[in-house]
Amino acid sequence: MTPTTETMVGIGGAAESTDMVLNIGPQHPSTHGVLRLRLLLDGERITSAEPVIGYMHRGAEKLFEARDYRQIIMLANRHDWLSAFSNELGVVLAVERMLGMEVPERAVWTRTLLAELNRVLNHLMFLGSYPLELGGITPIFYAFTEREELQHVMEEVSGGRMHYMFNRVGGLKEDLPAGWTTRARAAVADVRSRMDRFDDLVLGNEIFRGRTRGVGVLPPETVHAYGVSGPIARASGVDFDLRRDEPYLGYGELQDVLKVVTRQEGDCLARFECLLEQTHHALDLADACLDRLAELPPGPINQRLPKVLKAPEGHTYAWTENPLGINGYYLVSKGEKTPYRLKLRSASYNNIQALVELLPGTLVADMVAILGSMFFVVGDIDK
C-alpha cells in the first residue's frame, strides 16, 4: 500500500496519494454556531471525522458552586437556549428531591404543560431550519409563524421570550394570569391546525426525501455506545423515553395520551419524521394538561421557602426528557446554601459525539444533511 501524507489545504485538490484535511467551522454556514469539524477526506469521501468542541464553554458547572440554590436556576436555564424551561425544570427537581419537598398539584400540572409547549417551540425551530440547510427556504417562515403563536402565551405567563426563569424551588414564580389557559388552548389549536404544512411541504418534497433517505444511518449499537438519546435515538429504533419509562411531573397520569415515536431506519429522514410526529404528540399532551388544570380547585402554585435555603448533606441525580434528549443534573451537597458540585449531562454533548462513527464513509455533500439531522444546540455541548 502506498504511504500517504496529510496536507492542510484550503480550496482545491491534492495529489492522488494525499489525504485532504478539511476544517468545517468554527465559523461556517454548515455548523449551528461555533462547532468545528475536522474531516479527513479521500477524494469526496470522508475517512475520519473529529468534532472539536469548547469554543463556547462558559464554565457553568464551576459557576454552580458559587451560586445559591435560587441563583443556579439562571445558569441552568441557558445551555440549550431552545429548551430554557426544561433546563430550569431539571435543576429544581434535583434540589426538591434533596429537600424531600412536595410541590403543589397546580405547580406539577403547570410545569408539565409548559414543558410540552417548550418542546414544541424547540422542535419547530429544527423543523424549519433543517430544510433550510438543504436548500428549502419556505419552511423556516412557517416555523417562525407557529413559534410566535406559542411564544406569545409563554411570554405572557413568564415575562421572558427565551429565558423564562419561571421555575422556582418549590413550584413556579407566580400563578397563571386570568384567562391564560383559554388563550393557551387557542394557540395550541391554531398551531395544530397548520402543522400539516410540514407534512406536505417537506415530507412531500421528493428532493428532500432524496437528500435524506438512506443517508447517515445511525445503528442502535452506536446509539447505546455513545449515550445518544431523544428523537435521534428513537429514529434508530431505541424505544426509550423518560416520560414513559421513569415518569416525573404529571406524565405518570398521561400514559393514555403519551405516545413514544420511533422509526427503524435510523437515517436523516427518520430523524426528521420522529421530530415532526413528536411535535404533534406534544400538542396533544399540552391539551391534556390544560384539561387537568381546568379540573383542579384554586390553590397555591409554590411552597414558601426560608430566606436562606440549604440542602441537606448528600447527593442525588435528577434526569428529564428534554426536547433534544436526556438532560441530567448530579447534585452533591455539603449542607451549605450553594451546591458542593453540580454536574450537567446534556443531550447534545452525547449526540454530537456519534458523528465520529456516523460521518466516515459518507460523501462531503451529505455531511450537511447528516449534521443538520443531529438536532443539537452548541451551548448544550459546551456546558
Burial (CB < 10 A; 0-12, 13-18, 19+), residue 145, is middle
Put residue 371 in one of left, alpha, beta given phi > 0 → left and psi -120 to 50 → alpha.
alpha
pLDDT tens digits for the chain (383 residues)? 555 545 444 444 444 545 788 777 676 555 556 888 899 998 889 999 999 888 888 888 999 999 999 999 999 998 998 999 999 999 999 999 999 999 999 999 999 999 999 999 999 999 999 999 898 899 999 999 999 999 999 999 999 988 999 999 999 999 999 999 999 999 999 999 999 999 889 998 999 999 999 999 999 999 999 999 999 999 999 999 999 999 999 999 999 999 999 999 999 999 999 999 999 999 999 999 999 999 999 999 999 999 899 999 999 999 999 999 999 999 999 999 999 999 999 999 999 999 999 999 999 989 999 999 999 998 899 87
The matching CATH number, chosen from 1.10.645.10, 3.30.559.10, 3.40.50.1110, 3.30.470.20, for 60-381 is 1.10.645.10
Please state, in angstroms and rounded to a whole number, the distance separating the CA atoms of residues 327 and 344.
8
Q: What are phi and psi of 344, to 5 degrees?
A: -110, 130
User: What DSSP string describes 214-273?
Assistant: TSS---HHHHHHHT--THHHHTTT----HHHHS--TTGGG-TTT------SS-SHHHHHH
Please state, in angstroms and rounded to a whole number, the distance separating the CA atoms of residues 57 and 138.
33
How confident is the model over 93-148, as pLDDT tens digits?
Answer: 999 999 999 999 999 999 999 999 999 999 999 999 999 989 889 999 999 999 99
**b/e per residue, 101-138, with b = 16+ CB within 10 A?**
eebbbbbbbbbbbbbbbbbbbbbbbbbbebbebbebee
Q: Which residue has the cell 424505544?
A: 239
How confident is the model over 171-180, as pLDDT tens digits?
Answer: 999 999 999 9
**Residue 11, pLDDT score:** 44
Structural domain boundaries of the chain? 20-52, 60-381
**Residue 20, pLDDT score:** 80
